[in-house]
Each structure stands twice: as structure tokens, then as C-alpha cells.
Amino acid sequence: MTVSRRKTARSRAGRPQRLWPALLLCALAAAACRTPVPVPAGSPLEPLSVRVAPTPEAEDRLAARLAGAALVDDLERVEAALSELEAVDGGDSRNPNLLALAHDLRNATAPDDAGYRRATRALLRTRDISADPALEARLERAVADDPLRLANERVLDDYHALFARTFNAVSEPVGRSLLTGFTVAPVALASSAAHYLAQSYREDALSTRERQALVLRQRYLAEDPDGQHSERVSRQVASARAELHQTHRDRLHRQARRALRADQYERARVLANLALDFAPADPALVALVGEAEQAAAAERARLQRSLEATPGGDNEASLALARDLLTPGADLEANLRALAASEGSEAFSDEIVFVRALVESETGSEERAWQRLRGLARRSPERSNVVRHAANLVDSSQQNPYEAFREIRSRERARFARWLVFDRFADGPRYTHIPKPIAYLVDLPAVAQTLVQLPVRLLVYPFRPNLDFHVSTAAAAQRYLDRAPRGSRAEEVRTWLLDYHEERENWLAVERLLRDLRDEGGELAWEDIHTRAADQALRISLDQPRRDLQVSMLKRLSQEYYDTDAGRVAGGRVREITRTTTPQSIRITAQYLRENPRLAGPDGLGLRPSLIDGQTENGELHPDGVTLAGGRVLEFAFLAESGDEADAPTRLPRRVSSERLARVVSLLEETALRNERVDRDDKQAANAPRDLYLERARLGLTDRVDTRPTARSTYTYQGVRERYGMVRSRESVLPFDLVVQGSLRDLSLGAFPRWRGPKETPDAFLYR
């Protein structure tokens, strides 16, 4: 009995292990027998529904009469037609918003914009036009475009921003002191107050939002000069203009001072005169204009003197040397010896040294040539005619790239050392608009903390590849190699540049340096670098957003790196882009169509319902959805045969009629506008090429295809679920954020409320 039970237990325990191969075989068989997803046969679109023009009724005739009277500005006929239309309309009209449209047309005949806004506001209060979101949105935008109200909003935003900055200047140091101890709170508050005052000192007399308010108030006066608030607004405009002039004066004054310190005398003179236009009686500006004019006059005198020339006498040897300097292949050495032996050669001693240096530079004696030029450059310009020419060659980074390489490398090494010690204060204090002693005093606590964190920077620096202090040095090194690839210093410069680019894995630059020296590095090393450079070039090309530039880069890559895998991939990518690129690529995803069924239905696309029903047996739209491909072409993306959404879709282009395309784009814009009004998270981004194409499609003007790359739009209409997923982040209803913040830079940890300031309007950049 016991034996039989043990056998039964063993058999039951082993049964699942014997079933696994059978289950795996069944799964493989099911996968092999799965029916591939078919591409829908025939057109994916249903026939376009015919819209028969309705027989005009009495209200239609009255609406036409009202429109005609409004076009000729006959206000009596407008009022009469509107009264008759109100009497006829019983609420069961084919167009429920006909009466609202009629009232809006009557309101549009108002003599000024203020009257139109008042009438529109009354219309929105008395009538429900939510059934037409486009009309409702247009009327609400007209009401909101009140310059006086917008000006008051900008002023309130400015006060709000000031309060937020003040609140944060107090709350942040106090909150940081919660964990570090209240003993440091007075110091933190004092430091925060110093920074607050320094930032306030930098602000203009008229802020950006106040400049917006000024323009809006000027618009109000232009629209309604005799309005109820005109006198008060005029005083506000006059006060704001005075502050704006002060702002311009201060800005131009600072720019002129900077130009004068940089020896840009003409620019300083022009800027000082412009500042003087805003404050004609300002003694500081008058003095600055005089100083700039004197400096500019002295500069012009120096330039004029440099253009003066004196006769060189009748020395035949000097004339022959001058001719031979312009003659390729001339024997300059013989002419130099003849000039040195001629009568009066002492007067030409510097010129002889200068020409000899040029000859040595061209014949390969680079070091000796620069030694001669440096010696000439140190002489007095009052006693020699060629000193300034020699000094210009020595100081020019283009003519003397090796010296520029050495100087820039030394300067950037010093800059790196300053950064390592002082971090963000390596170039001085943060506030450059206040006196330097005060600026250093404000930053003193932060500088002390920075010095303490030196060991941390020593540990972190190797892991920050984006921190590069030698970009200018590399440019100077490359300039030297381009000018003298076989020069006496070429090996030194090339070695440094190779190490620099290899450390940053810039294989394209490494390959360019070694292309002419392949035999020195060995063929195996060259092949490895060549392959890495090709891979890097492919990544850069594929990241290029513009298709025309991408194709050009890929073509060049496929020609230069034809012997690498990256070159072959680039060639295939060029063929694919050329075959699949369309003038437009405005995509409507399948999820967007499911969330907006009216757009997919007979009033819009007229898409067959079976293509978005989730059943793959009769074909299914790929998540990529439908693309407006330019012209009158719609491109449909269907699931691949595997049925996997991750696989590339099967694309089916179809040319549609102008009427269907106009319906699609009109309903698409209406849907996007309605969604934006209902859900503030479902906003459209600005896209000018998209808007231009949709406008042309509505008007039936897409037969002339615009093939310019800059006219191509790649905008995508996405569903809300695609954009945010299952859970969307929401902005807190509280006016502040609770921040828990720690910093290795400040060695601090704390929690504090941070008040959110007002958001800038989209046109704020125009007023900065």
C-alpha cells in the first residue's frame, strides 16, 4: 500500500515536467498557424457623402439681405433685416447659430473696436453658442482683446513677480536653515538680501511687462481717444514713456562705455549720441560724447598717417627688389645682397631684415623667420617703416598660428586652474553692473563655500566630458596644421591635437589628422579609426532633422566611406528617404481618430469603421494612423502581416478629391480647437508650415505642391492618452511649490515653499 502511494505521488510530480514540451510545441504550432494580418482590399475610404444644397428658406434670404446691407455699410437696412430675422427665427432653424452670426455681423459695423467688444460681450451673455466652438472661441478672443484690461493684467503680473521674488528671497534661506541650524539663518538672510538688492539694481526703469502695458495703453488711446478712461491713461502713458526713455538711456550709456573700453571708438560715439537723444541735457552723456569723439578723431588721424607714403628715392636696387617681390620665382637673395651693398643701404636695413624673414618663411626656415620678425616688432615705430608690419604678423593669429596656439593654450590652462579653484567665480563676480568691491562682497559667502568644495570638483571633473576648456586651443592648432602641415612644429601640434580629439572620441577629426599619415600609424589602427569615423558620421547624419540636409550628408558619407558598414547603411538610407519622403508629413495618429470619431467618420475622413475597430482579421490601422503627405495625397499606415505594432507598417498612399481634403482639414482644425477648449492639456503647438498647408487645402490650392524643405511640416496630432499615458501630471492649485532641496555646492539641505511667478505671454520677447 505504501509503495503504491509513493509511485502515484512520483507519477503526479513528474506529470507537469512531461507536459512542458507538449505545451511549447502547441504554442509554436499556434504561432506558425496564425493568420497574417491582411492589408485591406480596395479603398480604405468610404464614398464621399453628397451634400445637396438646401432650398433657401425665408431666414436664409433675410440673412443674405443682412450680409449685403453690412457690406455696403447701410446700417438702417442692417437693423431692419436683423429685426425681421429675429421675428422669423423660431429656434428650429437648420443653423441654430444663425441669429448669433447675424448679431455678430451687426456688431462688426460698430464705429470702433471698443463698441464691438461691448456688443460681443453682451452677445455672449445673452446667447448660448457652445454648439459652435469655432464661433464661440472667436468671439471670446475678440472680447479678451481689450487693451486696457490686458494692460492692467500686465501691471498686476509685474507686481506678482516682484512679490514672488521677495517671498522666495526670504523663504529659501529660512527653509535651508531648518536642518542646518538656525544659527546660520541670519547670515543666510543677509546673503539673500544682498543678492536681492544686486539683482534689483540691475533691473531697468521700465520692466518688460510694463513696456507691454505701455504699448497696450497707447493702443487704447488710438482706438478710443475720447473714451471714459482716456485722461487717466494719457497720464500713465506719459509717465511710462519717461521711464522708457530712462531705460534706453541707461542701456545705451552702458554699451557706449563698454565700447570705449574695448577701443571701439566709432561705435562708442554712435551709441553715446543715441543715448543723448533720450536725455539731451545729461552732463555725463555730453562728456561721454566728447570723449568718444576725441578718441575717434585720434584713431582716424592714426589711420590717415598709416596711409601716408614718401618717395623712396632713385635707388635702383630697392626698385628691383620691389619688382621681384611681385614676381614668382625671382632671385630675391641676390637682390637683397645688391641692396645691402648699394649706397644709402643703412636707410633700408629694417626692410632688408623684413624681406629676408619673408624669404626664409617661404623656404622652410620658419623659426629663423619668426625670430627676425619678433626682433623687428620690438623696435620703435617712429624710426622704422616696417615695425608695424612685423608686429601685425607676429600678433596675428592667422599669420602666426603657432604663437597663437601657445598663448591660447597657456591662457586656457590658467582658466581651467581658476575654474578648479573658484568654479563659477573663475571669471570674477556674478554682478558686473555694480562696483567690483561691492560685487565681491556680495559673493564672498558663496566664494568661501566654493573653496571648501575643491576636493569634490577634483573628483567630479573627470566624469564631466561636456566641460571643455581647450576648444580655442584646438582651433588654433588646426589653423596651424592647415597653414603648415609639414612645418617645424607640425609634429608637436598634431600630437597634442590627436590626444585632444581621441580623449573626446571625435573620430572624424582624428581621421582627418591621420589621413595623410596613414603609413605612420599602421594599417590596422587606420582601419579602426576609419570605421569609427564612419559610424560617428552616420549618427550625426541621422540626427539631422531636415531631410534635404540629411540626404546630402548621407550621400557624401556613402561616397567617402563606401568600404564600411556605415557607408552601406547610408546608401540604403538615401534610397529609402528618396523613395518615401513626401512634401508634407502632417500625421493624425490612430488614437487621435479613435478619440475623435467625428473626424474619422463621414463628415471628415470617411474612414471605413472596420479599420479602427481593434479587430485585425479585416485589416487594422497602424498607430501611425493617416498622414497628410502633401498635394491631395493621404498616406494610410496599416499593421504589418505580423500584427505587431512595433514592426514597420504597410503604407498605402491614396489621392483624394479637393472636396474631401477640404472637409478633412476643416474638421481637423475644428476638432483641435474644441479639444483645446475642453481640455487645457490638449494644446496645439505653433507650426507655421502646417497652418499654411491646411489653409491652402481648405481653399483647394494644393495641386501646386511646394517642394521646398522649409515648407515641410512634421506635426503630429496625438491623442491625449498617447501624450500623457494613463495619469497626467496636474499643476497644483496652490500658488507655491513645496521644495526639498540639497546641494553639494552649498553643503546644505532644507525644505521651503517657492512662490510661482506669473507666466510670460507669448509676445514678451518682443519687449525685452
Return the pLDDT at 746: 54
Least confident of 178-187, 293-302, 712-721: 178-187
Q: Is the pLDDT of residue 331 over 80?
A: no
Q: Is the pLDDT of residue 5 over 50?
A: no
Q: How do residues 631-667 score in pLDDT, each as one tens digit?
A: 999 999 998 888 888 888 989 999 999 999 999 999 9
Percent of the residues in the chain that have a pLDDT greater than 70, as a whole number: 85
Alpha-carbon distances of 495 from 122, 402, 404, rounded to whole Å:
79, 14, 17
User: What is the model's pTM?
Assistant: 0.66
Q: Note the residue count of the chain.
A: 768
Return the pLDDT at 178: 66
Return the pLDDT at 281: 82
Return the pLDDT at 155: 92
Beta bridge partners, 738, equal 753
The arithmetic mean of pLDDT across residues 464-470, rounded, is 74
> Could you give the CA distance from residue 191 to residue 171 in angstroms, rounded to a whole number?
13
Return the pLDDT at 657: 92
Contact predicate 165/197, CB 8 Å:
no
Return the pLDDT at 9: 42
Return the pLDDT at 31: 46
Return the pLDDT at 154: 92
| Residue 66 grid coordinates | 443682412
- Contact residues for 758 (Cβ-Cβ < 8 A; gap 6+): 157, 160, 161, 164
For β-strands 633-638 and 650-655, DSSP reports them as: antiparallel
Considering only the C-alpha atoms of the chain, give the largest distance between any 2 of them, rounded to a whole number of Å. 138
The arithmetic mean of pLDDT across residues 137-152, rounded, is 87
Return the pLDDT at 394: 84
Indicate the pLDDT class of residue 668, thresholds 50, 70 and 90: very high
Contact predicate 237/218, CB 8 Å:
yes
Long-range contacts, stretch 493-498, CB < 8 angstroms, 24+ apart: 493/402, 493/405, 496/409
Percent of the residues in the chain that have a pLDDT greater than 90, as a whole number: 20
What backbone phi and psi angles, to 5 degrees, belong to 736?
Answer: -140, 160
Higher pLDDT, 464 or 661: 661
Q: How do residues 387-429 score in pLDDT, each as one tens digit?
A: 888 888 888 888 888 888 889 999 888 888 888 888 877 777 8
Higher pLDDT, 216 or 375: 216
Is residue 193 classed as helix, strand or coil in its secondary structure? helix
- Cα torsion through 23, 25, 29, 32, rounded to 10: 120
Return the pLDDT at 92: 55
Q: How do residues 24-62 score in pLDDT, each as one tens digit?
A: 555 444 444 456 677 777 788 888 877 666 777 788 888
Q: How do residues 341-398 score in pLDDT, each as one tens digit?
A: 665 556 667 777 787 787 777 777 778 888 888 888 888 776 777 788 888 888 888 8
Is residue 206 classed as helix, strand or coil in its secondary structure? coil
Q: How do residues 559-583 score in pLDDT, each as one tens digit?
A: 999 889 999 999 999 998 888 888 9
For the ranges 435-439, 618-622, 626-630, 704-708, the maximum mean pLDDT occurs at 626-630
Q: Is the pLDDT of residue 329 over 80?
A: no
Q: State the DSSP string of 344-398.
A: TGGGGHHHHHHHHHHHHHHHT-HHHHHHHHHHHHTS-TTT-SSHHHHHHHHH-TT
Is residue 634 classed as helix, strand or coil in its secondary structure? strand
Angle 424-430-432 from CA coordinates, rounded to 5°: 140
Q: Is the pLDDT of residue 313 over 70?
A: no
> Could you give the CA distance from residue 82 to residue 88 in angstroms, rounded to a whole number?
10
Higher pLDDT, 44 or 434: 44
